[in-house]
Amino acid sequence: MLSRLLRKPAPAPAVPAATAAQPQPQPQPQPARPLAPRLTQAQERAIEQALRETYFRNWDRAYLDSPDGQRDIAAITKNRYYTCLDHIVPWIERVMPLKGKHVLEVGCGTGSSTSGIAHSAAHVHGYDIDAEGLEGAKARARALNQTNITFHLTSPTGLLTTITNNHLAGSLDVTLLYAVLEHQHVQERIDTLQTCWNLLRPGGLLVVVETPNRLTYFDGHTAMLPFYHMLPAELAIMYAPRSPRAAFPQSIAEAAAKSHDEALERLARWGRGVSYHEFELALGDLNPLVVAHGYEPEVHSLCQPTPDQSHLQAYWKEANINVPVAFTRADLTMILRKPA
């Protein structure tokens, strides 16, 4: 996924012709906005040191000192933060200004997107199940002098219960799922989507970012193999040794040595593709709900269209699939608005 983010941006495309028969959202252009403040060298050093002591604490030292490790550190320390500041925040504000708004992020990790959005929102609640990642997120917020963020550590099984206990239904303006849904089991995804939707006030936004689409051909998130998203879990476990990504087959093999159930769990947490099917089961007819489809310039500038994405768009048209164009992107990135 990160390799795609680093490609030279291509010109923003028009909405694909495959969806010409479908009504398309028309977000109003927003005035040009100045870039949010860049990290100072002191802030960048403080965040990196905090992440080394928390999130990266158990990572292999030799790997962290390698070029790949340095790229991972840079990505988590600053690159993902700037992606949110410079692309995701202005994209959301095409639909609704964030000033004065209350946001909840599920799976906030080390706080890259949490801090990015907190520059614009009134308050952000970030939930995660990883204590080390949350410690890094708190250190990031301290380095940025952000006092409008509350972080919550929960257990995997208690995540949604904790969220619903802490927030009244209809009390939030935005719920954010940033690179989260692919790491859940199917029922967890459906439950998460329904919970996030129920927490929104009428007119509130459910924002989904960078979730790999199982309907495209290449798995560029987990196995780095063609068609891997589409394999049933049992076959995906058996085929994992063919992945060129060394850490992935090793991790699956270690889990499989314990039990088949452990291998299934490990595979799910590494991440598998998602499609419109879970969204329909959770929210019903999606056509009136999607108000930003991920082909807007702010999102398109993150990555060029992939060949399999173009093929999917063509099939969408040929098969007359009555589902929003957002679900043809290789990485699902969309905004859904709750009816007023």
Quick: pLDDT tens for 93-109: 999 999 999 999 999 99
pLDDT for 14 equals 41
Q: Are residue 244 and residue 315 in the same domain, yes or no?
A: no
- Same domain? For 238 and 208 the reply is no
> For 17, what's the count of Cα atoms within 13 Å in the CB-facing half-sphere?
3
What pLDDT is stored for residue 303 in this prediction? Answer: 75
Residue spans of the chain under pLDDT 50: 1-28, 31
Domain limits for position 249 = 222-270
Identify whether residues 329 and 253 lie together within a single domain. Answer: no
Q: How many domains does the chain have?
A: 2
Q: How far apart are CA 319 and CA 271, in angstroms?
A: 28
Mark whether 33 and 74 lie in a shared domain. Answer: yes
Query: Which residue among 255, 270, 285 closes a domain?
Result: 270
Amino acid 38: pLDDT? 83
Q: Which of 270, 287, 309 is the last residue of a domain?
A: 270
Angle at 128 between CA 42 and CA 103, to 5 degrees: 80
Are 88 and 112 found together in one domain?
yes
Q: How far apart are CA 292 and CA 289, in angstroms?
A: 9
Of 235, 250, 270, the last residue of a domain is 270
257 and 306 share one domain:
no
Residues 6 and 84 both lie in one domain? yes
183 and 259 assigned to the same domain: no
Q: Is 304 in the same domain as 266?
A: no
- Res 68: pLDDT: 83
Together in a domain, 250 and 120: no
Does residue 111 share a domain with residue 246? Answer: no
What confidence score (pLDDT) does residue 246 get? 85
Picking from 147, 83, 152, 155, the residue whose alpha carbon sits closest to that of residue 112 is 83
Tokens of 76: 């988590």
206 membership: H or E segment, kind and range: strand 200-212
Distance CA 214, CA 274 (A): 5
Strand locations in 43-134 (E): 102-106, 123-128
pLDDT digits 0-9 by tens, 30-47: 545 555 668 888 988 889
- Same domain, residue pair 36 and 127: yes
